[in-house]
Amino acid sequence: MVLLDLFMPGLDGIAVLKALQADGLASGVLVLTSSQDDAHLVQAIRAGALSYLPKTADVDQVVASVRAAARGESVLQPAATARLLKELRRGSAADPLGRLTPRERDVLTEVARGRSNREIARALSVSEETVKSHVSSILAKLGLADRTQAAIFGLRRQLVPLDEALDPYPGPPAGQVSS
């Protein structure tokens, strides 16, 4: 039986789940997390979590869920079940970009341009923390491991022209003068 948070210092709970599953040890994992992101819920279940509870769950609910997980039973709160079903239905769409919000798509486009979180934050007039949150959500929704994979995904989806992504000094196109 494993009680796991998705957000740990230096570790990614989804990666831990995948490693446990690869080793055949993910049979009794209960995720207890602060994440309200539907993509994290889906990813945790796909990675082998048996149960998924918010950190706001009361002690009796956590104890009952641990006991249920030890018996091999899944426990999801009704709201999480509804979110899971909604995300699974939405996630079955043919176009994975359809899983992203418009703002996440904007961030993915900037990642494909090779911009840092700081540059993306400036370009979109948001904080770096907001950009980090969007990048995490993009990775979860698209099932990608890191921002390099996200950049490649964005380039393959032609979110930006390849020559624009490769230009180390983006500016106005040749022959145009910036004002």
Would you put residue 57 in left (φ > 0), alpha (ψ -120 to 50) or beta? Answer: beta
Any residues with CB less than 8 A from the CB of 50 and at least 6 apart, and which? 27, 28, 29, 30, 69, 72, 73, 74, 75
pLDDT for the residue 79: 81
Q: Where are the domains of the chain?
A: 2-91, 96-166
The verdict on domain 96-166 having CATH code 1.10.10.10 is yes
Amino acid 174: pLDDT: 47
Measured distance CA(50)–CA(66) in Å, rounded: 10
Give residue 77's Cα distance to chain centre: 21
Same CATH topology for 2-91 and 96-166: the answer is: no
CA–CA distance, 171 with 164 (Å, rounded to integer): 9
Could you tell me the pLDDT band of residue 78, with boundaries at 50, 70 and 90? confident
Superfamily of chain region 2-91:
Response regulator (3.40.50.2300)
pTM over 0.75: no
CB atoms within 10 A of CB 38: 21
List, for residues 98-133, the tens digit of each pLDDT value: 888 889 999 999 999 999 999 999 999 999 999 998
